[in-house]
Chain A
């Protein structure tokens, strides 16, 4: 029982793809043979973070290890096995008044995966990334020992594991503080924004009063309209503001097959983006609406398999952050480059981040982050990413490993000043690099 099945493994962007020997055990335990292994959750990182280092490499999927081990209703403290999904956390604990303290743009992710990527959300400017709410981890390290770590216990391992992309050990248990939420409804305001400066100012102003802020920008708009988009602000609706009863589950549709590539032609994309802007521009600015949390946090979860819209060759998601000091010019440079390439698709997400965390490889730093999809078209797409990376490095920023499939090792080293420190801790716990991925081969120089 618990055998391995050989199957294609990829990130959500469906590029790259590698065959792996996949196990989905109900109890998280490393195989005793000491062979290399890659922990993987629900596979929603976009690039190659959860793709095996070599063809036939072993992948340990955690999603069947999904038991809740303890929940304290008074403090909202949850202890669970690493494979529990945020969707289950929401289903079980939102009716009891508790919400994930930080959530990425999909709830189809495991708690362990969220820790390994140190995910951030629309509240980063105020609350930081997920690691700030983790009280304890149990990590099975390369030699098989189960090590308990936390902010005050094996702190180095703890900080190297948060955002460590599963490369320090197998996260088996997580203790996490949830945040109170009076309802499953959100109070949301949207506002059209004419350009980049207005967007950055709007985000900064909104950050003072709102727990959640985010902007959507039309990457295909150029010239004076560069950075044109929609600003969204939100917070959890109080019991008094919320309609009676929980929000309804949104109707789900599924993408049944790989879309043809002309669907994402620049002409159609430009039309879509312009229409999206116009719809929001016509809404009376600032008027607050009460909406279900699902639509606010997880709009794309309603479209099953939306990644197939990018066709058979898949896509890259590019996400970077540039420090506040680099200001609007750096962001403008990135947007101009993207607009000139005409390579970007739907909409880009723009968001201001709060201070960086103590976790060595954690992505966010105080400044502006930009995320967008790039349909994968081979070498030209990769060249564009390297160009964007050069701009990001010059500005003192970095890219998000949970999205990345292309960044070169030498570039990554320039982006992450604490990389050497992280490597030292990894060597201490896993000198043979038992935990490795296609990504760690690419950006850290692990052997395949």
Chain B
């Protein structure tokens, strides 16, 4: 599992407590975007979106860079780790579940085999 730093978590969870900010992260996960494009997609004012991105940036979830007059946002490394982490936990749950399913199914196979033998006799 990814090792987390507590301070980073506090900032991240604060940033992630808002549905719009989570939405912005999701969108940036698909492609980088300018603040004005994000504002338009989320039906927010430019100022509102700047604030929103600012919070994400402070939490290390997003980085921004200004090129000419456009400020482009992209996912920070931490953001990717967070998603990778929850997907990994989810995967671990299912892996554990399926490992136990394997045991149950193996038992069914043995039973079926035993029954098959009896029937043939």
Whether A associates with B in a native complex is no
